[in-house]
Each structure stands twice: as C-alpha cells, then as structure tokens.
Amino acid sequence: MTATQQHATARGDLLAHTPKDLFIDGDWVPATGGATFEVRDPANGELLCEVADASPADATAALDAAVAAQASWAAHPPRERGEVLRRAFEELMRRQEELAVLMTRENGKPLADARGEIAYAAEFFRWFSEEAVRIDGGYQVAPNGASRFLVMRQPVGPCIFVTPWNFPMAMGTRKIGPAIAAGCTMVIKPAHQTPLSMLALAGILKDAGLPPGVLNVVPATDAGGVVEPLIRDPRARKISFTGSTAVGRRLIEQSAQQVLRVSMELGGNAPFVVFDDADLDAAVDGAMTAKMRNMGEACTAANRIYAQRGVAEEFGRRLAERMSALRLGPGVEDSTQVGPLIDARAQEKVLTLVRDAVDRGARVVVGGDVPTDERLRSGHFFTPTVLRDVPWEARMSSEEIFGPVAPISTFDTEEEALAAANNTEYGLVSYVYTRDLARGLRMAEGLETGMVGLNQGLVSNPAAPFGGIKHSGVGREGGHTGIDEFLETKLVNIGF
C-alpha cells in the first residue's frame, strides 16, 4: 500500500463504496458495451478506479428519463422538494470527512480545501431548500383598469449541466440545488478527471428521496459527442455550463438552434489591486486566499496583482515570504498546504506561462519551476511562485494561469490601476484593498466584473449572486436570483 493509500484508508476511504456506473432514472447502470475510463490520483498518477464512460446513446437515455420525470417533479410540493435538499445537505455535512478524502484523491486539492468545498457545496442545498418555498409571482391591475395581470413562475424544464474538475462538487450543487428547488429535472456531465464526487452526490440525493429521473449523471470522455446531441434535442430547455470560455462559446452557438435558456460560468482573469493606504496585513492575507485557494486552480483566482508604488516592495516581500513557506505534498497528508495540479498538461501550461513572463523581463522572487523534491516527482506539482515587474505583454496578463503563481506589477495612480484592471476580455471578479471608502466604491463602480472583493479575498457565498460579465459568462448562481435561472415567467391576462 502506498503512503497516499495509507493516509486515505486511515481516514475512511469512500473510494471502494462510491458507485462507478452511470446514474440514469434512479438506477446505477453500465455504459453501452461496458465502456469505462480511468480516474487517476494527480498526486502520484496512481489508478484510482475505472468509471462507466457514457456514449451519446446513454446520454439520450438520461435525457429520456429527465423528460419523463419533468411533469411529476414540477407538480411535487415545493416543501417536499426543499426537504430532499435539506436531507442531502445534512448527509453531506455528516459525511464531510470521507467525501473530502474522495475529492482530494481525484482532484489533488489539500484536505482542508476539500472539506471547505464539501461545506460550500452543501450550503447551496441548504440555501435552495429554503428558496424552494419562496417562489412567488404577482398580481397587477392593468393601467387602463380593463384587465388583471397574474404573473406565475414555472420550472424551465429539463436541463443539461456540464461541470469542471476544479470544484467537482460545488459546481454541481450550485446548479442542482436551484434546479431541484424550482422543479426542473436534469442530466449532468461531470469532468472526466473528477467524476467520483458527482457520483457520490447522486447516491446521497437518491437516499435523500429524490425521485428517479430527476437527476441523471453521465460521466464521459467524449464530452462534445455526448453533450451536443443533448443540446440539439428539442426536449431540453436549458443548458448551464461551468468551464472555460472557449468551450462555453461553442455551447452557446450550439444552443442557438433550439433557443435554449443559457447560463454560463466561464473563465476569469481577476485583477487584485493594492493601494498605498491598504491594511497590508489584510491585503497579504487576502492575496493568499485569492491566489492559493485550490492551488490557484479557480476561476476567481487573483491572476494579476497590481500594487501601488509606495507599498509594492513591501507587499511583494511579504507575499513571497508567505508563498515560500507553503508545504507541498499529496493532499491527503495533514501537513500539505499545496497539492498537485490536475494533470501534466496543467503543469506544463503554468511552466510555459512563467517562462514566457521571465523571457519578457519579469523577475522571479520565489519559485518559478516544478519542485525538484524526489517525493513529488510522480505528481503534477508546481512550486508557489511570486514574480515581480510582469509586463503587460506577458501571456499571463491576458490568460488564466490556473496555478500557484502570483505576478505583481506596479502602478502609480487610481486611473492607471482601473484601466489596467479592466484591460481584459474577462469580467468575473476583481479585488481591491484600500482604507479609503470613497475610493473603494469608485473602484467597485468602475471595475468591469460581476463581483468585487473590497478588502476581501473571497467573494463566493451560496447566499450571494455569483457570476461574470464580458467573456466570463451569462447568468448568476446562488443568492435570491440563483433560482430565477430555472424559472420561466408566465403572464395570465384576465379580462375584468
């Protein structure tokens, strides 16, 4: 038994008990022809298990089940829909530790991050269990008094969900929670690197009393081949996608044919702006959170750090100190603060972006390469890195780094900082540190992002609307508006 396996087993490894089949119409079923694919541990490349590999025909069978269940699920009392979510929330929290180990094994993130994600994921179920009974409508007298408007809100209908590997459970519950609450059925395709958390979640929802067909899970390696026919199927009414902007664009194009409702949570390129008057301790803490949550593999990760000239040196020094003190290792070990990146391609991309920045004049303050430690050789690790004087032309100024690399540039004026921050096609989130409230508000108003962290390195909260503008997406998840994505508004105009 390897050290990783021993750690995982000591923590009550769920791996052996997690279903590996497709979840269709309330049953666990193999893929057509028994096809499977491998799931590997990014900390050491070890084969964890094989999971059923859905074909387009399997995905269509999943949509058949979702369509068949739609009418009865929409008619289900909202209180009961909410109670399914509430029971699932409680079960997720009861099993937080074993689910965290499972997530760490397939994704690589340190256990502390995985525990945090289970709690975050579960909270969407609690939030939407409470929202299920608050779906309301309206009654209005027509301006000419000749009729009455009754406005009702109804579930959109069968949904298609596609989720990424970086938050394997929370990116699912953020869609599944409001869909269940609103009375929609769904087919979900998780990322091929991390299907296990979603399969475990399906088991929990089944045990919590979710009727067959409401949720269907189809892990697959042929993502495009499996998802496109669903999008083009006239019975589907909505697609909600979390992933890269490149894939999101393609799915929006495909959705045009059936005029599907579209929600897109796409890539980011978050600016993190530190003014001279900032509380520097808070700014460094915030930068560590905004940069290092999930090893930098987050759409909300601080991708470009702008420090005002008066504090740039000190801020850079303190950030470098904190980054170089982080311990790398397999996520299941208690001492680990930074786990491996998801795969070799991700590791190679981060290295390429760092080399490109250095070639264009950036200075490496700490890190800058893959670790040389023999123990970490078989995993996809990258050393926490701080770069100074990163020029705008560097690729990492316009591309998502998706790794533990903090590039710092210096600015002089507020106008310059705002212009630099907005100089990107993305618009998901930005961060600002200042003690001047008026300046903080001016920046918050001027920043072209769907979310702003003002003296705050973490903006995500299930009770708040999450989402981006520009090429970062369309729609919001969480908060009071999260359920709107799954409801249609219908007018009944009543003669009077």
Query: Would residue 225 be called left, alpha or beta, if left means φ above 0 and alpha means ψ between -120 and 50 degrees?
Result: alpha
Shortest distance in whole angstroms from residue 321 CB to ligand NAP: 28
Residue 357 is which amino acid? A
Q: Is 90 a catalytic residue?
A: no
Helices of type H across 222-268:
223-232, 245-255
Question: For residue 261, what are the contacts with CB-CB under 8 A and spacing of at least 6?
Answer: 156, 237, 238, 239, 485
Closest CA relative to residue 261, chosen from 341, 348, 158, 166: 158
Shortest distance in whole angstroms from residue 492 CB to ligand NAP: 35
Q: Is 448 a catalytic residue?
A: no
Annotate each residue in 327-356 with x if it binds ligand NAP (CB under 6 A) or - if it does not, as one string: ------------------------------
Shortest distance in whole angstroms from residue 268 CB to ligand NAP: 5
Q: Which stretch binds ligand NAP (CB under 6 A): 46-54, 99-107, 138-146, 156-164?
A: 156-164
Q: What is the DSSP code (8-state) at residue 66?
A: H
Closest CA relative to residue 468, chosen from 239, 167, 180, 243: 243
Per CB under 6 A, the list member of 227, 230, 341, 451 interacting with ligand NAP is: 227
Active-site pick, 98, 106, 265, 297: 265
- Structure tokens, 451: 């979310």
Alpha-carbon radius of gyration of the chain: 23
Per CB under 6 A, the list member of 171, 204, 295, 326 interacting with ligand NAP is: 171
State the CB neighbour count (10 A cutoff) for residue 178. Answer: 30
User: If binding means CB under 6 A, how many residues of this protein chain bind ligand NAP?
Assistant: 29
Shortest distance in whole angstroms from residue 169 CB to ligand NAP: 12
- What are the beta bridge partners of residue 385? 405
Per CB under 6 A, the list member of 12, 33, 224, 361 interacting with ligand NAP is: 224
Annotate each residue in 104-143 with x if it binds ligand NAP (CB under 6 A) or - if it does not, as one string: ----------------------------------------
What residues from 70 to 109 belong to the interface with ligand NAP (CB under 6 A)?
Answer: none
| For ligand NAP, the closer CB: 332 or 401 | 401
Active-site pick, 123, 299, 477, 485: 299
CB 344 within 8 A of CB 310: no
Per CB under 6 A, the list member of 108, 155, 267, 379 interacting with ligand NAP is: 267
Burial of 382 from C-beta contacts in 10 A (0-12 / 13-18 / 19+): buried
Shortest distance in whole angstroms from residue 128 CB to ligand NAP: 17
Cα dihedral 397, 403, 409, 414 in deg (nearest 10) = 80
- Structure tokens, 452: 């702003």
Distance CA 32, CA 431 (A): 47
Residue 244 makes contact with ligand NAP by CB under 6 A = yes
Per CB under 6 A, the list member of 55, 242, 397, 409 interacting with ligand NAP is: 242
Active-site positions read: 265, 299
Report the interface residues with ligand NAP, using CB under 6 A.
162-167, 171, 189, 191-192, 221, 223-224, 227, 242-244, 247, 250-251, 265-268, 299, 400, 428, 468, 473
